[in-house]
Amino acid sequence: MHDHDRLQRAAKDHLWMHFTRHGAYADADVPVIVRGEGVHLYDAQGKRYLDGLAGLFVSQLGHGRTDLADAAAAQARELAFMPLWSYAHPPAIELAEKVAGHAPGDLNKVFFTSGGGEAVESAWKLAKNYFKLTGKPMKHKVISRAIAYHGTTQGALSITGLPPLKQQFEPLVPSTFRVPNTNFYRAPERQDDLEAFGLWAADQIAVAIENEGPDSVAAVFLEPVQNAGGCFPPPPGYFQRVREICDEYDVLLVSDEVICAFGRLGHMFGAERYGYQPDIITCAKGITSGYAPLGAMIASDRLMEPFRSGSEWFAHGYTFGGHPVSTAVGLKNLQIFEEEKVLENVRANEAAFRSTLERLLDLPIVGDVRGDGYFYGIELVKDKATKETFTAEESERILFGFVSKNLYSEGLYCRADDRGDPVVQLAPPLVATQEHFDEMEQILRAVLDKAAGLI
């Protein structure tokens, strides 16, 4: 058993949590989760929660799987550590081959990292390095979308489009520029026509490239479905137009799939779902279902070409990138995906997940329900007819002060977020089924109904 008082005291005295307002715990317990099983989490008191966020878009196969734990233990016994710095080990080699086999087109070169931000960082460095070696040394700038999150290292944070996350760390890495995202609910243009809006949004990338000078732009970073802001799927034709623009200006298309890869959208990669060919995919999270940390940058054959002969090298790496235990777990994870038809489960159930969540649209506070696969955002509004959003004070009081706390106390772990307009984010483990969708909907309904009364 866990000693509640001792853990609380030690947490408050020593544990610096991430993206956490520690002041919120001055007079309240830190929520401590001690165990997981399937789609559920349990706290120190034994209370059960439905994991509506797969941890943090990570736990694709759910919690408590002994086969994944055993794969980790077996690898730690066999070879616990060896870096990928001029040496290799079997699990990294085999996982690279497996991932390359799943990745679209000629994305055959897998550079492992320890997580998603490092993959983004690696992709920007590769883009710069590649163009320096292929006669376009001025190409170095990056274009990304408003409100998009790409990580916290200074390069990835610079690519991130969330000013409140950046201001405390300015000046960041220069040379990044923002274009509009694909939030159709709040479309600034062509609000009447999804496809026309998508083409407009894609064309803003060409405008940004022209404004900056095509000779200076190296890459555009886009998520298949943008998470921050509350799940913005791409309008039909959006990525096809982006691909044309990238080809026209010789700009690399980086698909940041840290959330969207490994089944979140019912496919191994989001690019596959929406039918576009990136030059680089960045991924992490679900690659191991969270049983060990791992990320990867998957690059096209052409991007590795300059580094394959002579004395040229990509002077970049991480001690723990492609860790033997993590890559062994990744291999087992992907093997289970095939054996247990995890992608098929998402594709078979996603329409039911959508329609279950859409029932909430009858609540006056629910403005929009959007997403794809097992990845949804529910936007909360003050006035449904005008789409008026919360003030900062209302967001604080209602979203964080009430919705977030009460969802958790009612047994649903998910995320309330106002990095953009106020949303509740849902991304359950990929093994979730109708009974879990119903449970989510019931808890959300009860809490959001009461929240509407607080406006």
Contact range with ligand PLP by CB under 6 A, out of 26-34, 45-53, 165-173, 251-259 = 251-259
| 231: contact with ligand PLP by CB under 6 A | no
| 115: contact with ligand PLP by CB under 6 A | yes
What sections of 116-185 are H helices per DSSP?
116-133, 154-159, 163-166
Site for ligand PLP in 152-211 (CB under 6 A): none
Taking the complex as a whole, the smallest distance from the CB of residue 57 to ligand PLP amounts, in Å, to 6
Site for ligand PLP in 344-383 (CB under 6 A): none
**Residue positions counted in the chain:** 455
Taking the complex as a whole, the smallest distance from the CB of residue 282 to ligand PLP amounts, in Å, to 7
Closest by alpha carbon to 276, among 217, 223, 228?
Answer: 223
Q: Could you check whether the bond before residue 171 is cis, i.e. omega within 30 degrees of 0?
A: yes
Torsion angle, alpha carbons of 270, 276, 280, 282, to 10: -10
Among 43, 51, 223, 418, binds ligand PLP (CB under 6 A): 223
Contact range with ligand PLP by CB under 6 A, out of 110-118, 189-197, 236-244, 330-338 = 110-118
The tokens of 330 are what? 């990744």
Taking the complex as a whole, the smallest distance from the CB of residue 114 to ligand PLP amounts, in Å, to 8
Taking the complex as a whole, the smallest distance from the CB of residue 153 to ligand PLP amounts, in Å, to 8
DSSP helix/strand/coil, 347: helix
Q: What are the φ and ψ backbone dihedral angles of 24, each rounded to 5 degrees?
A: -65, -20
The beta strands (E) that lie in 229-359 are given as 252-256, 280-283, 295-300
Among 92, 99, 284, 427, binds ligand PLP (CB under 6 A): 284
Contact range with ligand PLP by CB under 6 A, out of 146-154, 188-196, 205-213, 322-330 = 146-154
The pairing of beta strand 252-256 with beta strand 217-222: parallel
| 235: contact with ligand PLP by CB under 6 A | no
| 150: contact with ligand PLP by CB under 6 A | yes
| 103: contact with ligand PLP by CB under 6 A | no
Amino acid in position 188:
P
CB closer to ligand PLP, 295 vs 322: 295
| 287: contact with ligand PLP by CB under 6 A | no
Q: To which H or E segment does residue 447 belong? A: helix 434-452
Name the residue whose CB lies closest to ligand PLP: 116
* Distance set, CA 139 to CA 124, 129, 143, 200, 253 (Å): 11, 9, 12, 25, 14
- Interface ranges with ligand PLP (CB under 6 A): 115-117, 120, 149-151, 223, 227, 256, 258-259, 284, 295
